[in-house]
Structures are given as C-alpha cells and as structure tokens.
Amino acid sequence: MKKTHYDTSKWKEHPLNPKECNASTVDWIFLVDLLNFSFWSEIDIDDTGVPHPDRYRVTFHGVGYTGYWSMVAAINRALEEGIPITTPAFFASEERLPDKEIERIFRSDTKEQVPLLQDRIRVIREAGRVLVEKFDGNFANVIAQADRSALKLVELVTSNFTSFRDEADFCGRKVQIFKRAQILVADLWACFQNESYGEFKDIDEITMFADYRVPQALYHFHCLQYSPDLLAILDRGEMLPNGSPLEVEIRGNSIWAVELIRKRILELIKKEQEDVQEKAEKEGGAGEEGEKKPKMMTVNAILIDFFIWDFAKAAQLDLTLGQRPVKVHRTRSVFY
C-alpha cells in the first residue's frame, strides 16, 4: 500500500467509475451497489486470471468485462444508449422499464447469462419503490438523514431496503455483516473524497466487505487458515448455503483478519514516524520552524479491503507463495 500510495484517489482511476461528483453520481453508486452481488461463474470453475471464454461478459468501449465490472459496464452501456437506468423513479416502474428491457440491459456477449437475473429485477423494483414512496425518489435524501454518520447511513439502508439486510443466525446470535450497505457508504466516501455526499465523521467504523473474493486473498496472504475438510469442500466446488455455519465463519473471520491487519499497519506507521522524529532530533532539532511533518498515511478497513480486492482481481492469485491457491467459496445470495 505504501509503494503504490494507495488511497481513495485509486477509486476514480478505474475506467468504468465516474470521474465527476454530483447528485447523478450518487444515483449511479446506489444502483451499482444495489446490484453488487453474486458474480462468480458456474462455467469458470478454475477461476484463473484468464476468464473462461463462455463466462458472462459485457463489452463496453471495446473492452470485455467479467465479474463485478461486467455489471458496471452494462449500466454504463445503458446510460450511453439513453436509458436513465440510474433514476429511481424510472427503474421502479414496470411500465417505463419492463422486465424484458432489464434483461436486455444486462445482456451477455457470451453463452453464460448474468447470475440471479430475477433477483436483480426484484431488488431493483423494491429499491425504486422505497425511494419514490419514502425519500422523494432520491437517495441523496437518505444520505441527508444520516447527518454525516456512516453507521447511521448503514442503519437507514438496511432498515429500509431488505436486499441490504445481510444478517445470519450463528450459535444463537444474530450476526449483521451488511456487506453491500457498507460498501455503498465506502464508495460514496471514496468517490467524493470525504466531502459533500461522501463526508462521514465516523468512516473508520466501517468494516471490510465480506464477500467471496477477499477471503480467498486473505488465505493467500496467510491471514486465514482453513481446515482440511473446508479446503476439500471448496476444491470440490460444493455450495455453501447463505447463513450456514461455514459460510458465516469464513465471512466473520475475514472481517476480524482485516481489523488485525489494520491494527498492525497503524503500529508500523507509528513506529516509522517515531523513527523519523528521533532521526531529526539527532541531526540537529526538529527542523525549520513551521516545517510540516510528513502526512500520515490513511488506513482503515475500507482501503485495506479495496487494496486486497484489487490485488485478488489483478493477480487472480497466480502468485501462490508456495501453496496451491484456494478456490472461492460458492454461495448464491443477493447479499454479496
């Protein structure tokens, strides 16, 4: 992260992400994170750095995209075609946006079609109706009610939109993982650089976004260990039902692993700053009066998650650090 100067500016560097920050961008981010779930392929079993030729793919501006970016490409393609797909009043209406048109918007360039199409249509309709009926058709009004609190916005989103209510029962306790609700907050924060619609006074309270890709990378980095039985299940490609003990354990331990990583990184940063200060004092004082101290690197669970996810997608775990790469866990769910 230090070598790449990894910070929120990386968010806008992807060619599919918006470069402007305004109310329309808020609508775009909401729809993207509304549909940010379940992109692993039934065909691409090996899940290597080179996608299977039949895997669901969307071509936009001459580039073919798979996984999460295929959905983003489909939305951007629709906008270029003059379809106001990110407008809540539009996607709430079956008359203005029939199911068949949604299917066409997410059309594939390959044999495999977008996973969970009917579920995507359902969550689009529900979210559109809620925004129109309760928030004047504008997600910016939800943000306003949160009063610059990331946790309050997560609460508003999960209490009003059922598809964001990512919860499970584990050993008699309710576990609230809230992957998509938190990444919605994170995307607003990163896009708007902690200003305007993305300003949050408690952004560091957000945890990582427990999906299927980041746990794979955490295993790769030796931050998680899997039992032989679990490794065998993953290797066979068996489904783990949403809410099942193994699935909740993978996601919960991933959250805690990132918290431990953050704690260690902050310790390292503090030690480096102390060393710099000690060196300066030995060399003849703290420097010129008014001299600025080096800017401290921002580190929270969001940036660590973004970094690990980007690494996992770019490298697709081809560099195995002496071990056979583990497969992602296979769970079909609207929650991630």
Residue 44 falls inside a structural domain = yes
For the chain, give the longest Cα–Cα distance. Answer: 74
Residue 202 falls inside a structural domain = yes
Active site (catalytic) residues? 211
Q: At what angle do helices 301-315 and 179-191 cross, to 10 degrees?
A: 100
Number of domains comprising the chain = 1
Lookup: tokens for 124: 């689009």
Residue 149 falls inside a structural domain = yes
Instruction: Note down the domain range covering 136.
Output: 2-284+295-316
State the pTM of this model: 0.92
* Residue 122 CA to its chain's centroid (Å): 21
Residue 62 falls inside a structural domain = yes
User: For 206-261, how does the pLDDT look when each residue is reduced to its tens digit (9 = 90+)?
Assistant: 999 999 999 999 998 999 999 999 999 999 999 999 999 999 999 999 999 999 99
Q: Do the Cβ atoms of 89 and 134 come closer than 8 Å?
A: no
Mean pLDDT (the chain, rounded): 92
User: For 72-127, how does the pLDDT look when each residue is reduced to its tens digit (9 = 90+)?
Assistant: 999 999 999 999 999 999 999 999 999 999 999 999 999 999 999 999 999 999 99
Q: Do the Cβ atoms of 218 and 224 come closer than 8 Å?
A: yes
330: helix, strand or coil: strand
Residue 321 falls inside a structural domain = no
Hey, what amino acid is at 58? V
Residue 193 falls inside a structural domain = yes
Residue 245 falls inside a structural domain = yes
Q: What is d(CA 45, CA 58) in angstroms, rounded to the nearest whole number?
A: 19
DSSP-derived secondary structure for 264-330: HHHHHHHHHHHHHHHHHHHTTSS-STTPPPPPPPP--HHHHHHHHHHHHHHHTT---TTSPPPPPPB
